Amino acid sequence: MSETIFTRIIRGDIPSHRVYEDEKVFAFLDIAPLAPGHTLVVPKEPAVTLDALSEESAAAIGRVLPRIARAVMAATGTRDYNVLQNNGVAAHQAVPHVHFHVIPKPDAGGGLGIGWPSGHLEAEDGKRLAGAVAAQLAKG
Ligand code: AMP
């Protein structure tokens, strides 16, 4: 697979407004923000979707995400925010390199709009689905 724009940003070939970098993680401002401070937190590992990410990179992202969220909210004077992570074209993933959006939700409006067409979980379906997922997890 050819490299993505995020790999080129991480390498410094394409300019970005960097807010954080360590050995495994790079974070920068989104070029088309949903709200001021909209930040992308990206593992340097070029996995396409979250399920393909190594435990090392996942741990590195998990360790720093709350800190970056705190910094973005403090810098923008925002209290509420969304963390969004899209996987696959149908799920609105435009750049095929894992990334987490940290999107402030200003009191004045803006930020992420979410359609949430919730259903209802029947007891039998819940039992069957939870069992199926747990069985997959038990495989390792
Ligand atoms: P997604 O739809 O989850 O794949 O989001 C990709 C995000 O990358 C979008 O919000 C874009 O605005 C953002 N993006 C694309 N190119 C750049 C760039 N050169 N610098 C900063 N953000 C970018």
pLDDT tens digits along 16-48: 999 999 999 999 999 999 999 999 999 999 999
Let me know: does 111 contact 81? Beta carbons within 8 Å: yes
Centre of ligand 1 from the C-alpha of residue 6, in Å? 8
- Residue 77 has φ and ψ, to the nearest 5°, of 65, 35
Active site residues: 99
pLDDT tens digits along 128-139: 999 999 999 999
| Ligand 1 binding pocket includes 87 (Cβ within 6 Å) | no
SS3 72: helix
| Ligand 1 binding pocket includes 86 (Cβ within 6 Å) | yes
**pTM of the predicted protein model:** 0.97
Strands (DSSP E) found in 7-112:
18-21, 25-29, 39-43, 81-84, 100-104
| Ligand 1 binding pocket includes 90 (Cβ within 6 Å) | no
Ligand 1: nearest atom to the Cα of 32 = 12
Q: Of the residues 8, 29, 40, which should be mutated to test ligand 1's pocket, given the most ligand atoms within 8 Å of the CB? A: 40
CA distances from 99 to 78, 88, 122, 133 (A): 21, 12, 33, 24
